[in-house]
């Protein structure tokens, strides 16, 4: 998911850049087509919504194209008003970013000083250690337990230098969740000076009744809990880069201090606002996700492959062979999945859910690859 940069840096660059891990995204379809000369390629690598955006969002984007000679609404007024209504929460607690990635970056700018510490899982979403390193702080990485955050161990890792605890729930790359009682136990142990960031990019996909809603902690008056959300996943607006954070008021004010002006485009704002007004489309996406998850897990069971229990729109599966080899062989069959040294699981790949025919195509291609490798 990330790699150390190998570029030659100018001597006047900040020395910390030599230690910075750069995010490496999944290959886009067009790149694979160019490299391999393939006409048909399916992408199941980046946890995107295969059904695409709400028709209301598409119409809003079309209409907004005529207004792009103007700068965007800097305060995201209409979107924040709609989010406040949608979540029944004060608008002053909401900060919009170019994806929740940017909100993570703003948290680093607002809170981290050189030498501070951030506690996170290992492996985890790369933007947590990237932001931490960028601010010359230290990533304290706590290994997963059964592909899930080990919250007691993360609480044990808190020191006098700890500023932030990052918890992706559901987790990326494994898709697992921590439940309400586990989060409460963590919060009861962590001092209020430590900000607990619940990154809930995939929360709409979760069916488990024990799943904790980060907003509940804000409503309880917890002064150190942040909930991150995104329009990239179930709302299918990944190409627009728009997400948001819900903060206690004091933290929201600090984050707004470092927010770039005009950081979210007009088109992204109107598309996100319209998408919130189409709950039916969200429910269709949720139902499709549930069916896709069941189909792939049944297929993996039939193949004798183990996987992490997913509550997101992807499955982290053990293909029992070198993950890079399997991913490369799938790529040559026109199927893009995600493998990374950052996963810390050399035989695991992460596969996102596609449309029904794409899921079937992936299962057939994986069966062929495993048979060729002698695994079937």
The 3-state secondary structure of the chain, one letter per residue: CEEECCCCCCCCCCHHHHHCEEECCCCCHHHHHHHHCCCCCEECCCCCCCCCCCHHHHHHHHHHHHHCCCCCCCCCHHHHHHHHHHHCCCHHHEEEECHHHHHHHHHHHHHCCCCCEEEEEECCCCHHHHHHHHCCCEEEEEECECCECCHHHHHHCCCCCEEEEEEECCCCCCCCCCCHHHHHHHHHHCCCCCEEEEECCCHHHCCCCCCCCHHHHHHCCCCCEEEEEECCCCCCCHHHCCEEEECCHHHHHHHHHHCCCCCCCHHHHHHHHHHHCCHHHHHHHHHHHHHHHHHHHHHHHHHCCCECCCCCCEEEEECCCCHHHHHHHHHCCCEECECCHHHCCCCEEEEECCCHHHHHHHHHHHHHHHHHCCCC
Q: Where are the domains of the chain?
A: 2-52+280-372, 55-277
Q: What is the structure's pLDDT at 27?
A: 83
What is the C-alpha to C-alpha distance for residues 89 and 79, in angstroms, rounded to an integer?
13
Q: What is the structure's pLDDT at 375?
A: 54
Q: What is the structure's pLDDT at 4?
A: 46
Sequence-distant (≥ 6) Cβ neighbours of residue 12 within 8 angstroms: none
Side-chain-facing half-sphere of 295: CA atoms under 13 Å: 22
Other CB atoms within a 10 A radius of the CB of residue 273 amount to 21
Q: Determine contact, residues 125/172, Cβ cutoff 8 Å.
A: yes
What are the residues facing 21 on neighbouring strands? 4
What are the residues facing 374 on neighbouring strands? none
Sequence-distant (≥ 6) Cβ neighbours of residue 326 within 8 angstroms: 319, 339, 349, 366, 369, 370, 373
Q: Are strands 243-246 and 225-230 parallel, antiparallel or unpaired?
A: antiparallel
Average pLDDT along the chain, 376 residues, taken 10 residues at a time: 61 89 83 91 96 98 97 97 97 97 97 98 96 97 97 98 98 98 97 98 97 96 97 98 96 96 97 98 98 98 97 98 96 95 92 98 98 79
Q: Determine contact, residues 220/63, Cβ cutoff 8 Å.
A: no
Side-chain-facing half-sphere of 52: CA atoms under 13 Å: 4
Q: Determine contact, residues 111/195, Cβ cutoff 8 Å.
A: yes
b/e code 226-236 from CB counts within 10 Å (16+ = b) = bbbbbbbbbbb
Q: Determine contact, residues 176/147, Cβ cutoff 8 Å.
A: yes
Q: What is the structure's pLDDT at 345?
A: 93
What are the residues facing 350 on neighbouring strands? 316, 338
Side-chain-facing half-sphere of 175: CA atoms under 13 Å: 25
* Dihedral (CA of 34, 1, 203, 95) sign: negative
Q: Determine contact, residues 28/50, Cβ cutoff 8 Å.
A: no
- CATH 3.40.50.300 fits domain 55-277: no
- CATH 3.20.20.70 fits domain 2-52+280-372: no
């Amino acid at each position: 998911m990330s790699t150390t940069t190998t570029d030659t840096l100018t001597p006047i660059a900040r020395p910390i850049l030599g230690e910075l891990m750069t995010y490496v995204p999944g290959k886009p379809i067009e790149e694979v087509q160019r490299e391999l000369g393939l006409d048909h390629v399916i992408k199941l690598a980046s946890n995107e919504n295969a059904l695409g955006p709400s028709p209301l969002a598409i119409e809003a984007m079309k209409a907004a194209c005529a207004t792009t000679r103007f700068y965007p609404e800097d305060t995201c007024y209409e979107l924040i008003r709609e989010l406040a209504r949608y979540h029944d929460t004060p608008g002053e607690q909401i900060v919009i970013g170019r994806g929740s990635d940017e909100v993570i970056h703003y948290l680093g700018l607002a809170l981290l000083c050189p030498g501070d510490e951030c506690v996170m899982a290992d492996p985890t979403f790369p933007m947590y250690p990237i932001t931490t390193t960028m601010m010359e702080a230290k990533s304290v990485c706590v290994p997963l337990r059964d592909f899930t955050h080990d919250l007691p161990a993360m609480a044990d890792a808190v020191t006098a230098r700890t500023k932030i605890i990052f918890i992706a729930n559901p987790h990326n790359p494994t898709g697992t969740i921590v439940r309400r009682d586990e989060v409460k136990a963590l919060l009861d142990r962590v001092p209020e000076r430590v900000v607990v960031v619940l990154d809930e990019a995939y929360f709409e996909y979760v069916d488990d009744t024990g799943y904790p809603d980060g907003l509940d902690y804000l409503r309880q008056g917890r002064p150190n809990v942040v909930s991150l959300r995104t329009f990239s996943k179930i709302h299918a607006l990944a190409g627009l880069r728009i997400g948001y954070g819900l903060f206690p008021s004091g933290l929201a004010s600090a984050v707004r201090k470092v927010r770039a002006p005009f950081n979210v485009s007009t088109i992204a704002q109107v598309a996100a606002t319209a998408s919130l007004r189409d709950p039916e489309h969200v429910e269709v996406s949720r139902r499709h996700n549930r069916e896709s998850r069941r189909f792939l897990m049944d297929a993996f069971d039939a193949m004798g492959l183990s996987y992490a229990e997913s509550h997101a729109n992807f499955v982290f599966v053990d293909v029992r062979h070198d993950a890079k080899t399997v991913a490369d062989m799938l790529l040559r069959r026109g199927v893009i999945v995600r493998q990374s040294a950052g996963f810390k699981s050399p035989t695991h790949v992460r596969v996102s859910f596609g449309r029904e025919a794409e899921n079937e195509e992936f299962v057939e291609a994986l069966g062929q690859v495993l048979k060729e490798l002698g695994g079937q």
